Structure 1
Amino acid sequence: MTAPSTTSLLDLFGSEWAANPYPFYAELRAKSPVQWDEWMQSWAILGHPEIVALSKDERLSGARIPEFYESLPEQSRGNVALLARTLSDMMLFNEPPHHTRLRRLIKPGLTPRFVREMRPLIEELANELLDKVVPSGRMDVIHDFSEPLSRGIIAKLAGVPDDAAYLLEGWQGLLHEFFTQSSAQNARIEALRESFDRGAAARRSGTADDFFSRMISAQLRDADYTEDEIFANFLLLIDAGQATTTHLIGNAVLALLHNDEQTRLLRDSPEMTTNAAHELMRYDSSVQFTTRIALADIDIGGQLIRAGQSVTLVLGSGNRDPRRYTDPDALDITRRAADHLSFGHGIHYCLGAALALSEIDVAMRTLLRRVAGWAPAVAEPEWLDSINFRFLKRLPITFEPRD
Structure 2
Amino acid sequence: MSPSAAPRPAQAAPADPSLSLFQLLDPSVHADPHPFYRRLREEAPVHWDPFMHTWVVTRYEDVHTVLHQFSADRTPNPDQMKALGLPSLGPVADVMAKQMLFLDAPAHTRLRKLCSSAFTPRRVEAMEEQIQEIADTLIDAVIDRGQMDVIADFAEPFPAIVTAGLLGVPREDHGWLKAKSADFAEMLGNFQHNPDRVHRVLKSVAELTDYFRDAIRNHGDRPGLVRSLVEAEVDGNRLSEDEVIANTIVTMVGGQETTTNLIGNGLLTLIRNPDKLAELRDEPHIIATAVEELLRFETPSQHTARIAHADTEIGGRLIRKGEAVMAVMASGNRDPRRFADPDRLDLRRTENRHLAFGWAAHFCFGAALARMEARIAFTTLLRRLDDLALASDRLEWRPNSGLRGLQALPITFRAVGAAA
Per-residue CA deviation, residues 1-43 of structure 1 (Å, 9 max, x unaligned), is: 3514402111122243121000110011011421222221211
Q: Which residue of 2 is the match for residue 22 of structure 1?
A: 34
How far is the alpha carbon of 1:67 from its aligned partner?
6.5
Per-residue CA deviation, residues 34-77 of structure 1 (Å, 9 max, x unaligned), is: 122222121111011111122111xx211111169836777743
Q: Which residue of 2 is the match for residue 307 of structure 1?
A: 321
Q: Distance in 2 between matches of 1:203 and 1:120?
A: 25
Q: Which residue of 1 is the match for residue 141 of structure 2?
A: 132
Q: Distance in 1 between matches of 2:159 and 2:201?
A: 19
Look up the equivalent residue of 2:375 and give its one-letter code.
D
Look up the equivalent residue of 1:191 and give its one-letter code.
E
Select 1:187's aligned residue among 203, 207, 210: 203
The alignment of Structure 1 onto Structure 2 pairs a total of residues equal to 398
Q: Distance in 2 between matches of 1:75 and 1:167?
A: 31
Q: Per the alignment, do residues 126 and 396 of structure 1 end up closer, same or farther by CA in structure 2, a change over 3 Å counting?
A: same
Q: Distance in 2 between matches of 1:308 and 1:51?
A: 17
**RMSD in angstroms over aligned alpha carbons?**
2.2
How far is the alpha carbon of 1:193 from its aligned partner?
2.6
Q: Per the alignment, do residues 221 and 189 of structure 1 end up closer, same or farther by CA in structure 2, a change over 3 Å counting?
A: farther
Look up the equivalent residue of 1:258 and give its one-letter code.
R
Look up the equivalent residue of 2:154 and give its one-letter code.
F
Q: Which residue of 2 is the match for residue 389 of structure 1?
A: 403
Q: Which residue of 1 is the match for residue 345 of structure 2?
A: 331
Q: Per the alignment, do residues 212 and 338 of structure 1 end up closer, same or farther by CA in structure 2, a change over 3 Å counting?
A: farther
Q: Distance in 1 between matches of 2:154 and 2:25?
A: 28
Q: Which residue of 2 is the match for residue 50 of structure 1?
A: 62
Q: Which residue of 1 is the match for residue 386 of structure 2?
A: 372
Do the aligned residues in 1 keep the contact of 2:297 with 2:343 (CA within 8 Å)?
Answer: yes
Q: Structure 2 matches for 1:168-317, cutoff 5 A?
A: 168-170=177-179, 171-172=181-182, 174-177=184-187, 180=193, 182-201=198-217, 207-214=221-228, 217-219=231-233, 222-317=236-331
Do the aligned residues in 2 keep the contact of 1:45 with 1:311 (CA within 8 Å)?
Answer: yes
Do the aligned residues in 1 keep the contact of 2:261 with 2:404 (CA within 8 Å)?
Answer: yes
How far is the alpha carbon of 1:225 from its aligned partner?
2.1
How far is the alpha carbon of 1:115 from its aligned partner?
1.8
Q: Distance in 2 between matches of 1:203 and 1:307?
A: 46
Tell me if 1:41 matches 2:53: yes
Select 2:76's aligned residue among 61, 66, 74: 66
Q: Distance in 2 between matches of 1:68 and 1:393?
A: 32
Segment drifting more, 294-303 vs 60-69: 60-69
Segment drifting more, 251-260 vs 192-201: 192-201
Tell me if 1:101 matches 2:110: yes
Q: Distance in 1 between matches of 2:408 and 2:79?
A: 32
Q: Distance in 1 between matches of 2:209 and 2:162?
A: 19
Look up the equivalent residue of 2:120 and give its one-letter code.
T
Look up the equivalent residue of 2:355 and give its one-letter code.
L
Q: Which residue of 2 is the match for residue 116 of structure 1?
A: 125
Q: Per the alignment, do residues 339 and 374 of structure 1 end up closer, same or farther by CA in structure 2, a change over 3 Å counting?
A: same
Q: Distance in 2 between matches of 1:74 and 1:313?
A: 24
Do the aligned residues in 2 keep the contact of 1:10 with 1:39 (CA within 8 Å)?
Answer: yes
Do the aligned residues in 1 keep the contact of 2:99 with 2:250 (CA within 8 Å)?
Answer: yes
Do the aligned residues in 2 keep the contact of 1:129 with 1:144 (CA within 8 Å)?
Answer: yes
Q: Distance in 2 between matches of 1:196 and 1:294?
A: 34
Q: Distance in 2 between matches of 1:219 and 1:121?
A: 28
Select 2:413's aligned residue among 390, 399, 402: 399
Look up the equivalent residue of 2:37 and give its one-letter code.
Y
Per-residue CA deviation, residues 161-203 of structure 1 (Å, 9 max, x unaligned), is: 3564442133316252375362313333333333322343478
Q: Distance in 1 between matches of 2:238 and 2:28?
A: 51
How far is the alpha carbon of 1:252 from its aligned partner?
0.4
Do the aligned residues in 1 keep the contact of 2:388 with 2:411 (CA within 8 Å)?
Answer: yes
What are the ranges of 5 or more consecutive residues in structure 2 without an aligned counterpart?
A: 1-10
Q: Distance in 1 between matches of 2:78 and 2:32?
A: 28
Look up the equivalent residue of 2:211 and give its one-letter code.
S
Secondary structure class of the residue paired with 2:371:
helix
Q: Distance in 2 between matches of 1:145 and 1:335?
A: 27
Tell me if 1:84 matches 2:93: yes
Secondary structure class of the residue paired with 1:311:
strand
Aligned-residue identity in percent: 37
Q: Distance in 2 between matches of 1:162 and 1:316?
A: 33
TM-score scaled by length of structure 2: 0.89
Q: Per the alignment, do residues 250 and 295 of structure 1 end up closer, same or farther by CA in structure 2, a change over 3 Å counting?
A: same
Look up the equivalent residue of 2:124 and give its one-letter code.
V
Look up the equivalent residue of 2:205 and give its one-letter code.
I
Displacement over 4 Å in runs of 4+:
71-75, 201-204
Q: Per the alignment, do residues 175 and 309 of structure 1 end up closer, same or farther by CA in structure 2, a change over 3 Å counting?
A: farther
Do the aligned residues in 2 keep the contact of 1:4 with 1:37 (CA within 8 Å)?
Answer: no
